[in-house]
Amino acid sequence: MDGAPVKEPSFRESVDLMFNRAVALMDLPPGLEDKIRVCNSTYTVRFGVKLRGQIHTFTGYRSVHSEHMEPVKGGIRYSLGVNQDEVEALAALMTYKCALVETPFGGSKGGLCIDPREYDEDELERITRRFAYELAKRDLINPSQNVPAPDMGTGEREMAWIADQYARMNTTDINARACVTGKPVNAGGIQGRVEATGRGVQYALQEFFRHPDDLAEAGLSGTLDGKKVIVQGLGNVGYHAAKFLSEEDGARIIGVIERDGALLDEDGLNIEEVRNWIVQHGGVTGYPNAQRIEAGAVLLEHPCDILIPAALEGVINISNADRIKAPLIIEAANGPVTAGADEVLRKKGTVIIPDMYANAGGVTVSYFEWVKNLSHIRFGRMQRRQEESRHQLIVDELERLSRDTGVGWTLSPGFKEQYLRGAGELELVRSGLDDTMRGAYQAMHAKWRSRDDVTDLRTAAYIVAIERVAASYRAKGL
């Protein structure tokens, strides 16, 4: 490229541009468009923690995009890239995401500007508790007002610290555990939350593959079986998506892109083995069973059927968009495709399953966890055995009929075992997640297919989400 570098819009500008594209096709009352688009508030906090004999100052944010429904919901990210523009973009995406998958929340997001790998566990606990204290005392962590969750650089461990910190500050709040989601199961979490976002990516692709007309749009056909997939970021989201797609749907994960380079094997990588290597060695470097590519990001441009960016935003931008060969991109990360790249890819005919839908599995299961915390009972606890005994009745009756009539039927042991087992929490969570991902896809699909002016899934997703947020504001009389 020659001359001045091409200017990309910032992440927040990208989200706004995509919002504007959708709103131009809608008929919103004057003023409402602006009300929905703007971020309501962003709180910046700087706090000190004494570590290794000296005070370290940290900067954190919690942004509330829309309170048309409360609590507001959105993850807390630990990364050196965290800044106000980023948290505001992510908070806006949360508003639209929650509306699209019908979780009754407004949008929020938080971040701490920190590289968590530079601190040991005790230090991270002290930093997290202090950050949680600063947010909780301003009701920016609160079961009825603002409920964080894990995001890049955070996980169950950090959520458990946050929940405990809030409980210490609110000793009589019986719903204290509902102040944050993504907690470990033994600290008020829910089965299936850790894997939820990756699982949601799998369910999203399964639903896409149930629509032959949409598949044809990407020049694809058949099933997920044997499809070549490249994943960027083998963290929580990328690892679970890659694992389920390869182990359960027969997809071939031919490439994995990480911070320190990429791995390529056209026959398919063993995801469990690669993940173990990364956990033990801190990266893909030295992994013996695949070709290593030093400049990992070039693998985004490698031919494959499905590209899954699952690391960070802006990785597909105007500098590489025209070289992307995958006909289908599913945005497991938030904002991996910039507005400029989106334009280029749409012109090329690339189908993009947008972030606000693709990674909504996390907030969906977070919603189930929040409901579980407020109801103080595990899903399935009341009905599981009752369901099993009713199924047993039918099986007994079928076997009696077979005996009495001399037909001699026997039920296969596999059927009996499966049919007799009542649904526990994990089965219910998966069922609720699958249902949500199917329903939301169908809503986007209906918009995409029913209107000539809606030419892509992202615009369809925005229109569905904005219509719902607008309806909620209208109902309030705003």
∠ at Cα 156 (356, 104), nearest 5°?
Answer: 40
Of 257 and 341, CB closest to ligand NAD: 257
Interface residue with ligand NAD among 83, 236, 317, 364 (CB under 6 A) is: 236
Give 290's DSSP letter. S
Is residue 259 near ligand NAD by the rule CB under 6 A?
yes
Between 135 and 332, name the residue whose CB sits nearer to ligand NAD.
332
Binding status of residue 354 toward ligand NAD by CB under 6 A: no
Q: 247-284: buried (b, 16+ CB within 10 Å) or exposed (e) per residue?
A: eebebbbbbbbbeebbbbbeebbebeebbebbeeeeeb
Written as six digits, the tokens of 261 are 């380079």
Nearer to ligand NAD, 279 or 394 (CB): 279
* Binding map of ligand NAD across residues 214-233, x = CB under 6 A, - = no contact: ------------------xx
Exactly one of 95, 108, 206, 359 binds ligand NAD (CB under 6 A); that residue is: 359
11-19, 331-339, 403-411, 455-463 -> range binding ligand NAD (CB under 6 A): 331-339
Residue 408, classed as helix, strand or coil, is coil
Which part of the chain contacts ligand NAD (CB under 6 A), choosing from 13-21, 184-192, 326-334, 343-351?
Answer: 326-334
Binding test (CB under 6 A) with ligand NAD, winner from 334, 373, 436, 459 = 334
Residue 354 CB, shortest distance to ligand NAD, in Å, is 12
The least CB distance from residue 82 to ligand NAD, in Å, is 11
The C-alpha atoms of residue 48 and residue 51 are separated, in whole angstroms, by: 9
Is residue 269 at the binding interface for ligand NAD, with CB under 6 A as the rule? no
Q: Which residues in the 274-313 window bind ligand NAD by CB under 6 A?
A: 296, 310-312
CB of 386 vs ligand NAD, minimal distance in Å: 33
Select the residue interacting with ligand NAD from 66, 197, 364, 459 (CB under 6 A): 197
Q: Give the binding-site size for ligand NAD (rule: CB under 6 A).
A: 24
Taking the complex as a whole, how short is the minimal distance between the CB of residue 96 and ligand NAD, in angstroms? 13
Residue 234 in contact with ligand NAD, rule: CB under 6 A: yes
Closest CB 311 distance from ligand NAD, rounded Å: 4
Residue nearest ligand NAD by beta-carbon distance: 235
Nearer to ligand NAD, 89 or 443 (CB): 89
Q: Which of 69, 112, 152, 176 binds ligand NAD (CB under 6 A)?
A: 152
Which listed range, 14-22, 137-145, 146-154, 168-176, lies at the site for ligand NAD (CB under 6 A)?
Answer: 146-154
Residue 325 is among the residues annotated as catalytic for this protein: no
User: From the DSSP assignment, how many helices (H) and strands (E) are in the chain?
Assistant: 16, 12
Q: Which residue has the tokens 């904002």?
A: 335
Residue 108 touches ligand NAD, criterion: CB under 6 A = no
* Residue 48 main-chain phi, psi, to 5 deg: -110, 145
- Give the helix/strand (H/E) hosting 100: helix 84-100
Q: Which of the following is catalytic: 73, 97, 109, 228?
A: 109
Among positions 60, 150, 188, 340, the unique one binding ligand NAD when judged by CB under 6 A: 150
Q: Give the CB-side neighbour count of residue 295, counting CA atoms within 13 A.
A: 3
Return the residue matching tokens 């699909």: 445
Buried b or exposed e, range 80-111, using 16+ CB within 10 angstroms: eebbeebbbbbbbbbbbbbbbbebebbbbbbb
Contact at 8 Å (CB) between 323 and 316?
A: no
Which C-beta is closer to ligand NAD: that of 83 or that of 236? 236
Is residue 350 left, alpha or beta, with left meaning phi > 0 and alpha meaning psi from -120 to 50?
A: beta
249-253 contact pairs (CB < 8 A, 24+): 249/202, 249/205, 249/206, 249/223, 249/224, 249/225, 250/223, 250/224, 250/225, 250/226, 251/224, 251/225, 251/226, 251/227, 251/306, 252/226, 252/227, 252/228, 253/229
Q: Are 331 and 353 in contact (CB under 8 A)?
A: yes
The yes or no reply on residue 263 touching ligand NAD (CB under 6 A) is no
Query: What 8-state DSSP symbol labels residue 10?
Result: P
Q: Chain centroid to CA 300: how far?
A: 20
Residues labelled catalytic: 109
Q: Which residues bind ligand NAD (CB under 6 A)?
A: 150-153, 197, 232-238, 257-259, 296, 310-312, 332-334, 359, 362
